[in-house]
Amino acid sequence: MSHYILGIESSCDDTSAAVIKDNVILSNIIANQKVHENYGGVVPELASRAHQQNIIPVIDQAIDRANIKKKDIHAVAFTRGPGLLGSLLVGVSFAKAFALSMGIPIVEIDHLEAHILAHFIQNRDKNLSVPAFPFLCLTVSGGHTQIVKVRDYFQMEIIGQTIDDAAGEAFDKAAKIMSLPYPGGPVIDKMAKQGDAGAFHFPKPSMPRYNYSFSGLKTSILYFLRDELKKDPDFIEKNKNNLAASIQKAIIDILMEKLVKASDETGIKEIAIAGGVSANSGFREAVFDLQASKQWNIYLPKLEYSTDNAAMIAIAGYYKYLKKDLAGQEVTPYARSSAAKK
Ligand code: KG4
Ligand code: ZN
């Protein structure tokens, strides 16, 4: 018998709902919140309010697009955390109420595990290749940067992570220093294509094991530009593509060094990349450049499943539902991962 799972994601600034039939995605609706662009970052109060406005239309559309009826749904999977509490509360409360009214169970999902499990999503028309266990997943988003050793669907070990900013945040903060619009990652990516990545050099942090740090890079960009702007007020404008290319290279070099180290030392050659920064063209190139020499099998989910989306919540929900790992109506969201593991 097939199982239909409704997935709901509301951890940050995207309201998303998806329907999955076993491991095959039928719909994935994402409402982006444009309201934050004017503020140069996500404003939590505005995010939760926008989720309230978006959630019902987004869910209706996901069910319509999947061409099913509400009564066909077997369970509701939702992001419990980590994320912004006010945003999470909207999705969690909706999931509970919907499930209660339909008499079906709820399944709680960790947002970061879902980013990783997005690699197992199948489309209606084609069989996509999926990573074999154990694999390494480098999750790089606006909120997280971590290398995870994935032994099974829910047996994951974080072997390295950032101690301060995430890789996406490094892109966004560098863009802000250069007065570029938010989110800065895609803008820097585009400009970098026209620039020389060797034009400027920024120091790499020295971090133990597989850990990351990006705050030093931000500071060195800030000081470098401050000094250059004193000499020439048009320095950024004159060098913007070279700056973008050099900053992008610095971030990619930091990311790749630890990924290579983790693969070399664990012997794992199944390499998956997840999260919004995986959209970066330079980063994708850097990963594929090593494919032959390192004999890696590389897995990149489709872009719509890389940035925040509910399809990844639905696939994670499907596997958890099969394990009969259900949540109770008393479940509450968590803002940080460590809280959940306690
Ligand atoms: O996974 P995601 O959509 O949301 C979070 O969970 O954070 O990631 C968003 C992050 C932002 O920091 C954005 O600047 C970055 O991903 N990003 C990119 C690119 N597209 C999105 N960074 C670099 N290059 C891109 N093409
Ligand atoms: Zn995310």
237 & 311 share domain: no
Element (H, E) at 137: strand 135-140
Mutation test of ligand 1: which of 171, 178, 254 has the most ligand atoms closer than 8 Å to its C-beta?
171
Per-residue pLDDT of the chain (342 residues; tens, 9 = 90+): 899 999 999 998 889 999 999 999 999 999 987 777 777 778 788 889 989 999 999 999 999 999 999 999 999 999 999 999 999 999 999 999 999 999 999 999 999 999 999 999 999 877 889 999 999 999 999 989 999 999 999 999 999 999 999 999 999 999 999 999 988 999 999 999 999 999 999 999 999 999 999 999 999 999 999 999 999 999 999 999 999 999 999 999 999 999 999 999 999 999 999 999 999 999 999 999 999 999 999 999 888 999 999 999 999 999 999 999 999 999 999 998 764 443
Q: Is 317 in the pocket of ligand 1 (CB under 6 A)?
A: no
Q: How many domains, in total, are found in the chain? A: 2
Ligand 1: residue whose CA is nearest its atom 10: 142
Q: Is residue 27 part of a domain?
A: yes
* Closest ligand to residue 114's CA: 2
279 & 165 share domain: yes
173 & 204 share domain: yes
157 & 262 share domain: yes
* Closest ligand to residue 255's CA: 1
Q: Is 165 in the pocket of ligand 1 (CB under 6 A)?
A: no
- Cα separation, 120 vs 322, in Å, equals 15
Q: Is residue 335 part of a domain?
A: no
64 & 33 share domain: yes
Domain, as residue range, for 20: 4-121+305-322
Ligand 1: residue whose CA is nearest its atom 22: 185
Q: Which residues pair with 81 in a beta bridge?
A: 110
Counting Cβ atoms within 10 Å, is residue 95 exposed (0-12), middle (13-18) or buried (19+)? buried
pLDDT at 295: 97
pTM, full prediction: 0.93
Q: Is residue 86 part of a domain?
A: yes
Q: Is 160 in the pocket of ligand 1 (CB under 6 A)?
A: no
82 & 159 share domain: no
Q: Is 252 in the pocket of ligand 1 (CB under 6 A)?
A: no
82 & 148 share domain: no
Element (H, E) at 218: helix 215-231
Q: Is 301 in the pocket of ligand 1 (CB under 6 A)?
A: no
Please, how many CA atoms are within 13 Å of residue 64, restricted to the half-sphere of its CB?
Answer: 7
Ligand 1 mean position to 282 CA, how many Å?
13
pLDDT at 340: 42
Phi, psi of 286 (to 5 degrees): -60, -40
178 & 80 share domain: no
Mutation test of ligand 1: which of 191, 277, 287, 312 has the most ligand atoms closer than 8 Å to its C-beta?
277
Ligand 1 mean position to 158 CA, how many Å?
20
Q: Is 82 in the pocket of ligand 1 (CB under 6 A)?
A: no
250: tokens are 């610095």
96 & 176 share domain: no
Please state the atom number of ligand 1 nearest to the C-alpha of residue 169: 12
49 & 192 share domain: no
Give the CATH number of the domain where residue 175 resides: 3.30.420.40
If you ran DSSP here, which 8-state letter would residue 181 be given?
Answer: P
* Closest ligand to residue 142's CA: 1
Ligand 1: residue whose CA is nearest its atom 1: 276
Q: How far apart are the first and last CA of the chain?
A: 36
Ligand 1: residue whose CA is nearest its atom 24: 280
Q: Is 283 in the pocket of ligand 1 (CB under 6 A)?
A: no
* Closest ligand to residue 310's CA: 2
Q: How far is CA 98 from CA 6, 56, 74, 106, 177, in A?
A: 10, 11, 12, 9, 44
Q: Is residue 146 part of a domain?
A: yes
Q: Is residue 225 part of a domain?
A: yes
pLDDT at 43: 77
Other CB atoms within 10 Å distance of the CB of residue 260: 14
Q: Is residue 127 part of a domain?
A: no
104 & 159 share domain: no
pLDDT at 341: 44
150 & 278 share domain: yes
Q: Is residue 181 part of a domain?
A: yes
Q: Is residue 112 part of a domain?
A: yes
Q: Would you list the DSSP string of 291-335?
A: HHHHT-EEE---HHHHSS-SHHHHHHHHHHHHTT-PBPTT----S
Please state the atom number of ligand 1 nearest to the C-alpha of residue 11: 6
